[in-house]
Structure 1
Amino acid sequence: MINVDTLKTAFIQAYGAGGHPVQYFFSPGRVNLIGEHIDYNGGYVFPAALTLGIYGAIRLREDSLIVLKSLNTAPLVTVDLNKLIEQYSPDGWANYPKGIIKQLLDSGLPLKGCDILFCGNLPDGTGLSSSAALLVLTAFMLRTVNGDDHVDRAELARFCQKVENQFIGVNCGIMDQFTVAMGKENCAILLDCETLRYKYIPFALDDCSLVIMNTNKKRELSDSKYNERRSECEQALAVIQRHSRITNLCQATLADIETYLTDNVLRRRARHVVTENNRVHTAVNLLEKGDIAGFAELMTQSHTSLKNDYEVTGYELDAIVDTALTAPGCIGARMTGAGFGGCAIALVKTAQLAEFKSAVATGYRAGTRREADFYVAGIANGVSLLEG
């Protein structure tokens, strides 16, 4: 278990005692409860920050070096603030904090040298936004330790999205960074990706628990397929815009899709986008009424749409969701994230968690010859400074 005490011990082992005070931070992962592949189509998503995430410890130095070390992965990387900062493939994970450092310097923030230690319990490459958690954590730590006591969290999210788009080269939407920065304990976020207007919605599960199921299938195809889906949605939007005055695909109607899209692939992609956006609004209404069972059913409908219309699930995700839906205590399940591997989520009766995990582990292993991992996660606040 990771906490401030274990972080303190690890930091001293890595960098030694003494010097400036050490400050400790936590940045959550995120799960999108419903509204998948909607953020870049201008609609509404419904994510929440998780109690799983990445911890960071930072201490100022007396020189111009920023030392980056992770307990979860290699290598250790040193950045000289007086030299050009560029992406360098062998630096691996450290390119994310390097991008933040460069962008902060470019924006005029006079950074000081420091030692930084990261460690986390968020599985990498599983669709739980470890990259966004790392970006937001690094930016929040560096701004805090360099004297910014009132970080604008929405601006922080946009800042980190820019780094991922321009320095890392991933053409992602705003949802991940926004959720990591703006999360609220026991609430999901209804987020309009077009305007960034948002509303916190209580996510009270009563006698159920949110279970994250890791397929342990890395998302090798996700980047290429992600770009392909974005292109298909852009094509569908362009066709509909010849006949209807809309600015994003989520504004289309099912009648628009059936009338104007003659290409079957584009029709199915657009149908997922429109119906998924509608499911987000329905989900909020159900949760506000306390209808957890109705929300769970929408989760299952979402997975079916992602499988059949958007085609981003893949064998492992379908196998784990199908197995979960027949397991004891499960009332709904779906993939989450970009797809083609990574994680799925399920709502499960808390009293039957042990039976559920056992049944899904056995069934998934038999169908895929892979081992699944399970995390029972709570809903957390966004990035924060921890009491030391």
Structure 2
Amino acid sequence: MTASEPAPPTPTTPTATDADAATLFAELTGREPDGVWSAPGRANLIGEHTDYNEGFVLPFAIPFRTVAAVGVRDDARIRVASTFAEDAVEVALDDLDDLFPTPAGTSPRVPEWAAYPLGVAWALRQAGASGPGVDIAIASDVPVGAGLSSSAAIEGAAASALNDLWSAGLDRVALARIGRRAENEAVGAPTGIMDQMASMLGEPDAAIFLDCRTLDAALVPVGVAEAGLAILVMDTRVKHAHSTGGYRERRASCEKGAEIMGVPSLRDVSVDDLPRAAELMDDVTFRRVRHIVTENQRVLDTVRVLREDGARAIGDLLVASHASMRDDFEISVPELDTAVDAALAAGALGARMTGGGFGGAAIALIEQDAVKSVSDAVAAAFAASGFEAPAVFTVTPAAGAHRDV
């Protein structure tokens, strides 16, 4: 991989979501914003829960985006509003230190949605940035709770805006770190940095091969459309939350496993080390460790296969990844398994859950002309199981965070 950062993405044509954010800003302040910034959600092609274990991931930005219309105030206060919350939240910038960090195991002292942008402002100030008060109006079309990282999209849009308006001069990797700190310490969700890096560094038709230890990143062409394929997202509508106990328990198991193996993180455990790990660990801890170790290898294999043979050859790796998350890491749910199984039965080349698990979405790699047939098959399987109808749609790798207007 290379440590060089990809060129900044080209701003896109303003969208309806941009207009929604600008309209909300005008309603909030009576004037136009000083600018509009946006950042995308992400889907993860492969590499789940490896990020906080300093391993490898292969996410890509998706076309759904969160938009922040932002304007400078004449005082030292910050006010945030969104189209998905009834009331705005306003605090003095100097009071952010009283709100954050959020103690482990507790909820933020402000509504959780507001903790993301306010946490970004707090993390930027902790990093030495300063500037005037701001009003931030947020709108988004990133599905919430679907495992498509609506949270990182909020963080990326807010961080990009404040970086410009406060003249902080931070690069996109540094802004991803700011977003992760906001999520970890302001919101209290013990996530890794994959989501923020994908949202900041995304490029069209490319996935981001990220080393989560060094933060070296390389763009890997996916070539899905060129191969006559499509990526289908199957949102189960089972909402998940990173701040819930299941995520924390999995992370604790990984830390326990690394301690038993005498290494800084599970990044330092190889597939060849697994027989020794099995002798040293209880069954649950071993299976958690086995998922991380084999998932890291699957990411490396997927990158190699994409480069050598193209997207059509990665299906088996996606299937193996889902089985590992279902059986070893135990983060799938019946709806996710149903989506994956139905897509594969309908002809998908590969399918897996994506995101933190315990709900959210799965992805399937399918023929371009099979979008309707696979979508119908997934919907029929959900109906037969008595599940709520899923939301099914295609995505393509898209551009990362940038200023829109």
Q: Do the structures match in fold with TM over 0.5?
A: yes
Q: 1:221 to 1:202 in 2, by over 3 A?
A: closer
Q: 1:375 to 1:151 in 2, by over 3 A?
A: farther
Q: Are positions 1:268 and 2:281 aligned together? A: no
Equivalent residues of 2:222, 2:310 under 8 A apart: no
**2:81 corresponds to:** 69
Q: Are positions 1:207 and 2:224 aligned together? A: no
Equivalent residues of 1:319, 1:368 under 8 A apart: no
Equivalent residues of 1:316, 1:368 under 8 A apart: no
Could you report, residue by residue, the CA deviation over 1:228-272 in whole angstroms, capped at 9, with x for unpaired residues?
12222222222233xxxx443233233422234232222222221
Instruction: Give the distance between the partners of 1:207 and 1:25, measured in 2 at CA.
Output: 33
Equivalent residues of 1:140, 1:151 under 8 A apart: no
Residue pairs, 1:27-176, within 5 angstroms: 27-84=39-96, 85-86=98-99, 89-148=109-168, 150-176=169-195
What SS class does the counterpart of residue 117 from structure 2 fall into? helix
Counterpart amino acid of residue 214 in structure 1: D
Q: CA deviation at 1:223?
A: 2.7
Q: 1:7 to 1:224 in 2, by over 3 A?
A: closer
Tell which deviates more after alignment, 5-14 or 54-63: 5-14
Q: Are positions 1:319 and 2:355 aligned together? A: no
**1:232 corresponds to:** 253
Equivalent residues of 1:45, 1:190 under 8 A apart: yes
Q: CA deviation at 1:2?
A: 2.4
Q: CA deviation at 1:365?
A: 2.2
What do you get for the CA RMSD once the two structures are aligned?
2.1
Instruction: Give the distance between the partners of 1:297 and 1:72, measured in 2 at CA.
Output: 39
Equivalent residues of 1:161, 1:172 under 8 A apart: yes
Q: Are positions 1:179 and 2:198 aligned together? A: yes
Q: CA deviation at 1:385?
A: 0.4
Residue pairs, 1:298-317, within 5 angstroms: 298-317=317-336
TM-score, structure 1 normalization: 0.91
Q: Are positions 1:15 and 2:29 aligned together? A: yes
Which of 357, 366, 371 pairs up with 1:339?
357
Q: 1:64 to 1:231 in 2, by over 3 A?
A: closer
Q: CA deviation at 1:302?
A: 0.5
What SS class does the counterpart of residue 314 from structure 2 fall into? helix
What SS class does the counterpart of residue 399 from structure 2 fall into? coil
Q: Are positions 1:2 and 2:23 aligned together? A: no
Q: CA deviation at 1:5?
A: 4.4
Could you report, residue by residue, the CA deviation over 1:11-56 in whole angstroms, capped at 9, with x for unpaired residues?
43443235xx531111011111101111122211111111112011
Q: 1:341 to 1:222 in 2, by over 3 A?
A: farther
Q: 1:371 to 1:17 in 2, by over 3 A?
A: same
Q: 1:40 to 1:9 in 2, by over 3 A?
A: closer
Q: 1:8 to 1:136 in 2, by over 3 A?
A: closer
Q: 1:236 to 1:64 in 2, by over 3 A?
A: closer
Equivalent residues of 2:190, 2:243 under 8 A apart: no
Instruction: Give the distance between the partners of 2:393 and 2:204, measured in 1 at CA.
Output: 17
Instruction: Give the distance between the partners of 2:351 and 2:228, measured in 1 at CA.
Output: 16
Tell which deviates more after alignment, 95-104 or 308-317: 95-104
Q: CA deviation at 1:281?
A: 1.0
Instruction: Give the distance between the partners of 1:349 and 1:176, measured in 2 at CA.
Output: 27
Equivalent residues of 2:274, 2:290 under 8 A apart: yes
Tell which deviates more after alignment, 222-231 or 93-102: 222-231
Instruction: Give the distance between the partners of 1:210 and 1:61, measured in 2 at CA.
Output: 43
Q: CA deviation at 1:220?
A: 5.7
What SS class does the counterpart of residue 204 from structure 1 fall into? coil
- Structure 2 segments unaligned to the other structure (5+ residues): 1-14, 101-107
Q: CA deviation at 1:3?
A: 4.8
Instruction: Give the distance between the partners of 1:133 and 1:9, measured in 2 at CA.
Output: 19
Equivalent residues of 2:315, 2:350 under 8 A apart: yes
Counterpart amino acid of residue 96 in structure 1: Y
Q: Are positions 1:295 and 2:287 aligned together? A: no
Instruction: Give the distance between the partners of 1:60 and 1:220, measured in 2 at CA.
Output: 32
Q: CA deviation at 1:94?
A: 0.6
